[in-house]
Structure 1
Amino acid sequence: MNIPVPVMTVGLLLLSNVFMTFAWYGHLRYKSLALPIVILSSWGIALFEYMLQVPANRIGHGYFSAAELKTIQELISLTVFSVFSVFYLHESLRWNHLVGFGLIVLACWVIFKEW
């Protein structure tokens, strides 16, 4: 199967960000757990994040510049985190969060625009 580079790159980055978000923020629902357990658990989850993120950047670099790869990763990260915070942490997104995220999307457009 010949998956286009942009699809493979974005797909792997999306999956890696799901793992990253759980590694970094998943423990917030379990504040009674001892910090060393939380740290070791996060490292274990982050291993899977790296196993997806590193190939994504390897595959995508050349088609995308490093700055574009980082921009894609940040946009995906914000999107995944928004969904995670609403559905897993049960926190609401306020209007100022949405405006701020919108400005970041605008920044992404500036980075990808051919000038």
Structure 2
Amino acid sequence: MRVFISIFLLFLFSSILIGCVTSPGQNEGGVLNKEQVLKLNPDADLFEFNGKVYSTGVNWIEEKELTKGEQVGEISEGMANKLPLGAKIFETNESGVILIVEYDGRQKRYLLQSGE
């Protein structure tokens, strides 16, 4: 009987510990920081703007029809890990969570990174 109780308690504690493990930003309900985004994807193409982190590589934002709005900023030292200095940041008319960045004749879309 003791063996059964010991195995049961071991299983119970293991289940509790596994249930406590979360992903970065999970259950935070807010925006993720650079460290959290890079922990989820070490190769993420991201930049920080107004205290929020935006990342590219999300398929649905590439397919969405978006209209470039006003320029809201420019990439400066320490803001981005893959974008060149001076790249221009634009808002979109359709979504407050997507920004468009232009540089060297290229255009990339970035999505605000948030927790669940």
Q: TM-score, normalised by structure 1?
A: 0.23
The structure richer in strand per residue is: 2
- Structure showing greater radius of gyration is 2
